[in-house]
Copies of this chain bind each other. A is one copy, B any other.
Amino acid sequence: MEFKKYLTQQCAVVEQALARYMLPEEGPLSAHIKAMRYSLFAGGKRIRPILAMAAAEALHAATEPLLPVVCALECIHTYSLIHDDLPAMDNDALRRGKPTSHVVFGEAEAILAGDGLLSFAFELLSHPDVQQTISPSAQLRMINIIAKAIGPKGMVGGQSLDLAAEGQTIPFDHLRLIHGYKTGALITASVQAGAIFGMADEKQFAALSQYGVQIGLAFQIVDDLLDVEGTTEDLGKTAGADAQRNKATYPAFFGVAKTKLMALEAVEAAVTALEIFDAKAEPLRALARYIYERNN
C-alpha cells in the first residue's frame, strides 16, 4: 500500500519535471513540439526516472537536482517507443491505449519526433543545472554511460538484432543478448545515473549496476509474459504481437511457469545485490518486486 503511494508520488514528480523541462507548444516549431509532447505525455509509468531517483535515494542523495536527467531518460525511452512502433519496424498502431505517433502525425513527423526527443535528451543531460550538485566530470561520465547504453552497442543495436531475428530460430543465448541490449541497457544506465548522482563509491556503483542488470532482465521477461497473458485492453498495446510476429520470447523457450520462476529469480538477485544498503534502499527493493508483480 505504502509503495503504491510512493509510486504515485514519484510519478507525479516526474510529470511535473517533464512539464517544466519540455519545450512548450508554441512558435513556428509548435507542430514538431506537439508530436514530441504527444508521446512524452501519453501516460507512461516513468519507471526509468523513478529507478534513477530511487538509486540516488539509496545513497541518501537529494533527488530534486537529478530532474533534468530523469526527464532525459524518459525522452530517450519515448523516442525508442516511437521509432519501434513505426510501420517499417513493429508497425504498431496502439501504444498506452492511444494511437501511435505515426498514426496521428504521419511517418515523417514520427521519425522526427523521435529524433527530436533523442537530441533534446542530451540537451537535458548536459544541462548546467546538474552541475550544482555533481562535478562536471561526474556529469560527463553519466552522459557517456547513457550514450553507450542506447547506441549501437546498446538499445539501438538490440532493436536491430531483434528485427533481424524475427521469424528466425535463434538460440536462447542470442535472445538474452537481444534483451540485454534492447531493454536491459537503458534500465541499468538509469540506475547508474542515479548512482553517479548519489556519488556512489566503487563498491556501491558495482552493487547498483548489478541490481540494474537483474531488474532489466526481470523487466524483459515480464514483458514477454505480459504479451502472452495480457489483453490488448490491459496492455494498452496489441497483445499477442510477439507470437504473431513469430518472435523468440522467454515463454516460447521455457513455457509460462518456468518463465515466471526465472523472472522471480532475477528479482531476488536484484534485491540481494542491495544488501550493502540501508533502509533508504527500500524503494529500490520494492521496485524490483513491483516489476515482477505487474504481471500478477
Contacts and interface: CB of A to CB of B under 8 A. Distances in A.
A251 B152 CA distance: 40
Contacts of A140: 126, 128, 131, 136, 139-140
A135 to B, nearest CB: 7
A227 B174 CA distance: 46
A104 interface: no
A126 to B, nearest CB: 4
Interface residues of A, number: 56
Given A107-B88, A128-B144, A143-B122, A115 B32 contact: no
A147 B108 CA distance: 21
Nearest to A27: B153
A283 interface: no
A111 interface: yes
Total copies of the chain: 2
Nearest to A148: B123
Contact of A32 (B112, B116, B144, B161): B161
A86 interface: yes
A147 B126 contact: yes
Nearest to A166: B108
5 contacts: A29-B152, A31-B164, A108-B163, A119-B152, A120-B151
